């Protein structure tokens, strides 16, 4: 029968150079409900703030179960590995479907899909990396071991919300929010590295981070590939390397004599304050720079980067590379700024196997399917509309207020004749 694979032509070519053929697309799913007891527990945790443990566990178990079902399909097809694994949430009313999808890999010319479950001659590996990324990873001497993830569902909570709201009345960092966001984001990182260590790996590579809304909560998810390199120092067996560099970037880093050490995360939450918020809203009515927002975002970014710098110094890194900053509008003039990068250290022990990188590993696959969307309203579809709506109503209220003041003043002048 024909092979149905999710691998592109470039991916197939790259993997062929490492001795692997493409196999069938494999899928695993699991539909979960939070349940009444879990709802009570999560409601209490939501009020308290911080991690909402029952929700974290439900999502973790659902992701894990769908992944394990997908891996059983891989073994049924006689695969030795699976690449390009995704772990998605699909909402069906009040229920959540956890969906894992990947593409089976076979040893080249080993008789694809004619083996039975349990006939594997070597352990089956799994990876979030696609075929091109896997080539780069293997060419650096890393053997993929297992797809791993770390997640945390969290809420600001009533206490953090009240204290944060009070603090947000003034301009500057809202420490209560910063502390909650800092802790939860590092929980996800700790959990993905713990999974890598338990899998017998000394590195987790190509980490991808996402934050998704879950009603009154949010989930932060990190996925990556737990991998093993025989030349890494013994210390990384207990505390695996973590890196959000793409495997292509990592190949170049190794080629330049550097080795990744640890993923760095810096989080800061800042507020404009009441006066700053009113001033910024009034300035938004006319064209020109809103200096209050300019300086606030600058200070928040500097604060997050300073935290990354301190973390790098603590772990003895030479540099932090690939730093990206992300800003989120939490509403009410409160902004979160997160900085992410990978700490690296000079090392001459590990070099890529190939002197130059394969061309097919660099080529970016082009999208060939497009779905039209309605953008007639001129609103960017990848931006939260809530913030736009809030700004709109704030502006309307201020305009009404200004008009009312002018009318009252005119009425007073008319009455007094002054």
Rg, Å, the chain Cα set? 26
- What pLDDT score does 111 carry? 46
| Domains, the chain | 9-257 (3.30.110.70)
Tell me: the pLDDT tens digits for 206-240?
A: 999 988 877 677 888 999 999 999 999 999 999 99
Q: Looking at residue 224, what is its pLDDT?
A: 97
What pLDDT score was predicted for residue 372?
67
The answer to whether the CB of 26 falls within 8 A of the CB of 70 is yes
Taking alpha carbons only, the member of 293, 297, 298, 9 closest to residue 131 is: 9
Contact assessment for residue 270 and residue 296, using Cβ atoms and an 8 Å cutoff: yes
Distance, in Å, from the CA atom of 236 to the CA atom of 345, rounded to the nearest integer, reads: 14
Which DSSP symbol is given to 133? Answer: H
- DSSP letter, residue 366: P
Beta strand pairing call for 81-92 and 125-126: parallel
Confidence check: pLDDT of 388 > 50: no
What angle do the packed helices 385-416 and 273-283 form, to 10 degrees?
Answer: 80
Mean model confidence pLDDT for the chain: 79
* Residues 6+ away with beta carbon under 8 Å from 321: 245, 253, 258, 341, 342, 344
* Residue 387 reports pLDDT greater than 80: no
Taking the mean position of all CA atoms in its chain, how far away is CA 250?
18
Asked whether residue 44 carries a pLDDT value surpassing 50, the answer given is no
Q: 3-class SS at 347? A: coil
Residue 201: its pLDDT value, please?
A: 97
Angle, helix 131-139 to helix 247-255, in steps of 10 degrees: 20
Phi, psi dihedrals of residue 267, rounded to the nearest 5°: -125, 135
How confident is the model at residue 114, as a pLDDT? 41
Q: What are phi and psi of 357, to 5 degrees?
A: -80, 140
pLDDT band (50, 70, 90) for residue 177? confident
Residue 323 pLDDT > 80, yes or no? yes
Q: State percent of the chain over pLDDT 70.
A: 71
Looking up tokens 């704030």 gives: 394
Tens digits of residue pLDDT in 270-313: 876 544 444 545 545 545 555 666 777 888 889 899 999 999 99
Q: For the whole prediction, is pTM greater than 0.75?
A: yes
Q: How confident is the model at residue 405 (pLDDT cuts 50, 70, 90)?
A: low
* Residues of the chain above pLDDT 90, percent: 49
For position 10, what pLDDT does the model report? Answer: 95
Q: Please, which residues bridge with residue 29 across strands? A: 99
130 vs 292, more confident: 130
Closest C-alpha among 10, 225, 216 to residue 129: 225
pLDDT band, very low/low/confident/very high, at 246 (cuts 50, 70, 90): very high
Residue pair 10/134 in contact (Cβ under 8 Å)? The answer is no
The per-residue pLDDT for 162 is 42
Least confident span in 87-96, 150-159, 178-187, 403-412 = 403-412
Q: Which of 306, 302, 315 has its CA nearest to residue 344?
A: 315
SS3 368: coil
Mean pLDDT lowest among 13-17, 32-36, 395-399: 395-399
pLDDT of 6 above 80: yes
Is the pLDDT confidence value at 118 over 70?
Answer: no
pLDDT of residue 82: 97
User: Which residue is listed with tokens 């995360």?
Assistant: 265
């Amino acid at each position: 029968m024909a092979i149905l694979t999710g691998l592109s032509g470039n991916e197939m070519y790259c993997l062929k150079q490492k001795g692997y053929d493409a196999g069938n697309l494999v899928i695993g799913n699991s539909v979960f409900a939070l349940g009444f007891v879990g709802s009570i527990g999560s409601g209490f945790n939501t009020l308290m703030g911080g991690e909402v443990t029952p929700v974290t566990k439900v999502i973790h178990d659902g992701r894990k179960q769908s992944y394990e079902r997908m891996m059983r399909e891989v073994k049924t097809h006689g695969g030795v590995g699976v690449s390009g694994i995704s772990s998605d949430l699909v909402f069906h009313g009040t229920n959540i479907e956890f969906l894992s999808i990947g593409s089976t890999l076979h040893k080249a010319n080993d008789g694809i899909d004619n083996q039975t479950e349990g006939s594997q001659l070597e352990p089956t590996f799994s990876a979030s990396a696609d075929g091109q990324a896997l080539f780069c990873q293997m060419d650096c001497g890393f053997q993929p071991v297992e797809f791993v993830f770390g997640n945390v569902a969290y809420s600001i909570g009533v206490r953090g919300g009240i204290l944060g709201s009070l603090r947000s009345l003034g301009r500057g960092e809202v420490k209560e929010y910063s502390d909650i966001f800092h802790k939860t984001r590092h929980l996800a990182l700790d959990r993905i590295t713990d999974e890598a260590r338990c899998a017998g790996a000394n590195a987790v590579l190509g980490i991808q981070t996402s934050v998704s809304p879950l009603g009154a909560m949010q989930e932060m998810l990190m996925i990556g590939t737990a991998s093993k390199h025989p030349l890494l120092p013994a210390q990384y067996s207990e505390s695996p390397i973590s890196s959000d560099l793409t495997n292509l970037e990592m190949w170049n880093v190794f080629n330049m004599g550097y080795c990744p050490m640890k993923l760095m995360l810096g989080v800061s939450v800042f507020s404009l304050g009441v006066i700053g918020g009113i001033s910024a809203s009034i300035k938004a009515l006319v064209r020109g720079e809103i200096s209050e927002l300019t300086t606030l975002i600058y200070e928040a970014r500097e604060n997050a980067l300073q935290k990354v710098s301190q973390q790098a110094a603590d772990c003895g890194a030479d540099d932090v590379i690939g730093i990206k900053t992300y800003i989120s509008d939490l509403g009410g003039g409160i902004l979160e700024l997160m900085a992410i990068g990978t700490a690296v250290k000079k090392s001459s022990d590990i070099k890529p196997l190939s002197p130059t990188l394969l061309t097919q590993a660099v080529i970016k696959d082009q999208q060939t399917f497009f779905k039209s969307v309605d953008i007639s309203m001129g609103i960017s579809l990848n931006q939260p509309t809530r913030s736009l709506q809030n700004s709109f109503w704030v502006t309307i209220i201020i305009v009404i207020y200004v008009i009312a003041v002018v009318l009252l003043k005119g009425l007073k002048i008319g009455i007094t004749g002054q």
